[in-house]
Amino acid sequence: MTGPRPGAAALDRLLARVRDCRVCAAHLPHPPRPVLHVSATAKVMIVGQAPGVRVHETGISFNDPSGDTLRAWLGLGREAFYDETRIAIAATGFCYPGKGRSGDAAPRPECAPLWHADLRALMPDLALTLLVGAYAQAHYLGAAREKTLAATVRNWRAYGPQFLPIPHPSPRNKLWLKRNPWFEADVVPELRTRVHRLIGVP
């Protein structure tokens, strides 16, 4: 019988600090409620934007129409998608940032630089990070990304095998998907194959 994974206790302590974080409290419309799902054994990490209001209310990442689309792209049901022993979910902002001029506001800029590197250091089995949308791509790819999200996603092979950039699955991006049919035709099958192979889904 095996014991807890080395580093799991350190990750638990870090997660307690994350969930107690109040760095951005003065800028949020509601009291902070950091939402993330990680474990020391995760092989895939999904980095999105920030919780929407429904995610803030339920405490479950991608628990909304965006999540339905993302799960369809991945070919995963909710049980596999939320199995944090295999898939970690940690947005660039952990708390709901409120409404902006068009849709939700941008994720708070303090969050990812403050927490992501420490979280990833305690997830030694990570083999693939999905960069969902422009904010995740900006944080992780920096100057290596292309001038537009479409160009970055089209050039996805250049960032592998560690990273795979994809558009945000928000319903607001239906027009983008219509204008860029190559994404669902060419990238989604590769995305699905790689994730299934890593997490052991047939």
Residue 6 has pLDDT above 80, yes or no: no
In whole angstroms, what is the distance from residue 46 CA to residue 88 CA? 6
Q: In what order do the strands lie in the sheet with 163-166?
A: 87-89, 44-47, 128-132, 163-166
Domains of the chain: 8-199 (3.40.470.10)
Label residue 5 by pLDDT band (50, 70, 90). low
Cis ω for the linkage preceding 4 (within 30 of 0)? no
Interval 92-131: pLDDT, tens: 999 999 998 878 899 999 999 999 999 999 999 999 999 9
Reported as a single tens digit per residue, the pLDDT across 66-101 is 999 999 999 999 999 999 999 999 999 999 999 988
Tell whether the model's pLDDT for residue 36 goes beyond 90.
Answer: yes
Whether residue 61 contacts residue 35, with contact meaning beta carbons closer than 8 Å, is answered with yes
pLDDT at 177: 97
pTM of the model: 0.95
**What local confidence, expressed as pLDDT, does residue 12 receive?**
96
Is the pLDDT confidence value at 60 over 60? yes
Residue 74 · residue 191 · CB < 8 Å: yes
| Three-class DSSP category at 84 | coil
- What integer is the mean pLDDT of 14-25? 97
Spell out a b/e string for 96-130, using b for 16 or more CB atoms within 10 Å of the CB, else e. bbeeeeeebbebbeebbeebbeebbebbeebebbb
**Model confidence band, residue 1 (pLDDT cutoffs 50, 70, 90):** very low
| Cα separation, 25 vs 51, whole angstroms | 15
Arithmetic mean of pLDDT, 157-169: 97
